[in-house]
Amino acid sequence: MMARSFSAVLAAALLAGCASLSTDGGFGPVEASVKQRLDKEVRWSRSAADQAAIDSRVAALLAPPLSADGAVQLALLNNRGLQASLQELGIGQADLVQAGRLPNPGFGFGRSTRGDEVEIERGLHINLARLLALPQIRQLEARRFAQTQGGVTLAVLTLAADTRKAHVNAVAAEETVRYRRQVMQAAEASAELARRMAQVGNFSKLQQAREQSFYADAALNLAQAMQLQQAKRERLTRLLGLWGEQAAFKLPERLPELPLTATDQPEIERSAMAQRLDVQGARLAAEQTAKNLGLTQATRFVNVLELGAMRNSSNEAPTQRGWEVSVELPLFDGGGARLARAEAVYRQALHRAAETAINARSEVREAYGNYRSAYDIARHHRDELVPLRKQIADENLLRYNGMLIGVFELLADARSQIASVNASIDALRDFWLAQADLEMALIGKPGLAGGPANVAAPVDGGAPH
């Protein structure tokens, strides 16, 4: 009976030992998840041909003005940090395959003499404890690799969200520069007119100084806007992985229009719990820790167990053949400390999982509240404030044409109208940023989907790490 059980374990171990590297390196689930969530393409550059195909696709995306969707697609193809993260799949799969390989046997050879007698001793041994635990070790490594795939998927989705926000900020910054340049031009015209009127005695020094102050403020605001524009563009350039001539990419002149209605999501918490990758990762971490605890309990007393065959020969005696088993005696270390550590790490993983779920619910509620508020504010600017400022400007132009107000009042009103448009741009930008944050809140936060602590080292004949 025992022989049959050992034969079954050995057969399973032999099948596990035949595992080999897959052609896609575990990239398939990551690619499918990104396609499902973003409807975008992500490629893993693992050869010169792969990189050439990516470069060709990048050149096609850079030809027209770069939209938000185009920027996301370009980043998923060209960001070198993402390509470095994808290499974690290759590392993880190699560890998984290595965990399923049979332990190498050991061979011992000895030669001794006693007078004219020569003894030759040969021994062949294998780590039996490692062999018996091989199916469990492979299962643990498979769960760890699944966590690696989840972490890489989250890195891809995080890059997509960051790129979308960077694109919104870059386009909004360019719009702001254009409108603030118009404000400065109006203020410059007003200041020049005030200077000429002061020269002929039709303007007081106070009135001239006031117009000059408007111009100085407008020039400062324009300089600050241009500085911000450069910073936001460079941020986007880094995420896109562009350099050299590629960095001269074109952006749209305006942000997308505000949607007609805001998305209503009454079941947003439940949806987040079902699809957030950090929640799934925390749950998987707790399950893996529980499995590791089971392995620790099974191997707490037997850390080194070796089975070997021996053959001793002598020129003066018949050849001796046999087998031997070596086992570590738990005289000083009964494994209690390792077991207590594993239990503590397991309880820690449970609390981490609960914390992740609680935080996820709060984060998604906050993101949805910000999204709805940003939409209401942007709509108020679009439907109320900007039309009112335009109506006032039209009425003042009629009054100016009727010589009821002067040129300075008309220029001041033009500055106010442009400032209202700038505020509307900021509100529209905040809405698109809030929408990107909401989409990310439904996916998860980076850094929370990592694996659990190592609670049990593989049974390899050494001390646990």
Average pLDDT by consecutive 10-residue portion of the chain (465 residues)?
Answer: 48 54 78 86 87 91 93 94 88 81 77 73 72 75 81 88 94 91 83 82 79 85 93 95 91 91 82 77 73 58 50 58 56 61 76 81 87 92 85 76 71 74 89 90 59 38 38
d(CA 211, CA 199): 14
Structural domain count of the chain: 1
For residues 100 and 16, is the Cβ–Cβ distance under 8 A?
yes
d(CA 9, CA 340): 29
3-state secondary structure of 326: strand
Q: Answer yes or no: is 465 within a domain.
A: no
Which amino acid appears at position 387 of this protein?
P
> Does an H or E element contain 312, and which?
strand 305-314
Residue 106 CB: number of other CB atoms within 10 A? 12
* pLDDT value of residue 50: 87
* Rounded alpha-carbon distances, angstroms, from residue 348 to 5, 135, 456: 36, 26, 15
Q: Answer yes or no: is 422 within a domain.
A: yes
| φ, ψ (nearest 5 deg) of residue 318 | -60, 155
> Does an H or E element contain 410, and which?
helix 407-443
Closest CA to 129 of 121, 137, 118, 139: 137
* pLDDT value of residue 196: 85
Q: Answer yes or no: is 333 within a domain.
A: yes
Residue 263 CB: number of other CB atoms within 10 A? 12
Strands (E), 395-446: none
d(CA 364, CA 371): 10
CA torsion through residues 295, 298, 300, 302, sign? negative
Domain extent for 125: 17-443
Is pTM beyond 0.85? Reply is: no
For residues 86 and 152, is the Cβ–Cβ distance under 8 A?
yes
Q: Answer yes or no: is 459 within a domain.
A: no
Task: Let me know how many helices (H) and strands (E) the chain has, helices first.
Answer: 12, 4
d(CA 444, CA 364): 9
Q: Answer yes or no: is 461 within a domain.
A: no
Q: Answer yes or no: is 452 within a domain.
A: no
Average pLDDT, the chain: 77
Q: Answer yes or no: is 181 within a domain.
A: yes
* pLDDT value of residue 447: 39
d(CA 286, CA 370): 32
SS (H, E, C) 145-192: HHHHHHHHHHHHHHHHHHHHHHHHHHHHHHHHHHHHHHHHHHHHHHHH
Q: Answer yes or no: is 364 within a domain.
A: yes
| CATH number, position 98 | 1.20.1600.10
For residues 280 and 353, is the Cβ–Cβ distance under 8 A?
no
d(CA 346, CA 140): 14
CA angle 262, 280, 39 (to 5 degrees): 50
